[in-house]
Amino acid sequence: MNRCLIFDFDGTLADTLGEGLKIYNDLARQHGYTLIDPEDVEELRHLDTKGLLRHLGIPRHKVPFHLATAMRRLRSRISNLPLNKGIREVLPTLRKHFDHMGILSSNVSENIESFLNAHDLRKEFTFISSIGKLSGKAKHLRAIARTFSLMPHEILYIGDEIRDLQAARKSRVDAVAVTWGLNSRESLARENPAYLIEHPRELLELI
């Protein structure tokens, strides 16, 4: 029986992809990385994090610095960004059926809190876990399990990226892949998630 439902934030709950693309292209111009044309986004959705960084010409060791800069720039804009369509309608029902419902994200907690408060959704989540970097979600999933005295099979992690599904697998947590975010349906399916979901209303089938 699943007792804890954990959401990724960017791309899964919040529609931050468009704003994130603008921020990335600003940084790319400043540092000489490959710009992303909106027409190329669909092709890039098939790449995992390593492949995307290679394509864009971003050294791995510079990612934490650029991510921190991007999160600071996002902070002043995030309250104005929308939820992904259909998310609001399912959250209250999901919350009633799980002991714990939280967020695990590479975004910073200040951004997540601002966004949830702007959309009057903070009350739906019992915790927010921010790692502030691209790697390390598996470790944090295990930490959440210890905090709430949960077994891995009692947790579901919902994400829109290949790295979310890989983190879930590492921590022996079942992954729920959603197709409305960063990575494509095909690339997510290759990771063999427990669930592959096309629309937020399908999340109700997890109950």
CA–CA gap between residue 5 and residue 172 (Å, rounded) = 14
pLDDT tens string 107-162: 999 999 999 999 999 999 999 999 877 778 999 999 999 999 999 999 999 999 99
| DSSP sequence for 141-207 | HHHHHHHTT--GGGEEEEESSHHHHHHHHHTTPEEEEETTSSS-HHHHHTT--SEEESSGGGGGGG-
Question: Could you tell me the CATH superfamily of domain 4-15+82-206?
Answer: HAD superfamily/HAD-like (3.40.50.1000)
According to the model, what pLDDT value does residue 132 have? 73
CA–CA gap between residue 175 and residue 166 (Å, rounded) = 9
Q: In whole angstroms, what separates CA 87 from the centre of its chain? A: 14
CA–CA gap between residue 57 and residue 121 (Å, rounded) = 37
| DSSP sequence for 53-88 | HHHHT--GGGHHHHHHHHHHHHHTTGGGSPBPTTHH
According to the model, what pLDDT value does residue 128 have? 97
According to the model, what pLDDT value does residue 24 have? 96
Nearest to 113 by CA among 22, 23, 9, 16: 9
CA–CA gap between residue 27 and residue 93 (Å, rounded) = 40
According to the model, what pLDDT value does residue 135 have? 76
pLDDT digits (tens), the chain, 207 positions: 689 999 999 999 999 999 999 999 999 999 999 999 999 999 999 999 999 999 999 999 999 999 999 999 999 999 999 999 999 999 999 999 999 999 999 999 999 999 999 999 999 999 999 987 777 899 999 999 999 999 999 999 999 999 999 999 999 999 999 999 999 999 999 999 999 999 999 999 999
According to the model, what pLDDT value does residue 37 have? 94
According to the model, what pLDDT value does residue 111 have? 96
According to the model, what pLDDT value does residue 56 have? 96
According to the model, what pLDDT value does residue 161 have? 97
Catalytic residue, from 8, 15, 160, 164: name it: 8
According to the model, what pLDDT value does residue 191 have? 97
Catalytic annotation present for 174: no
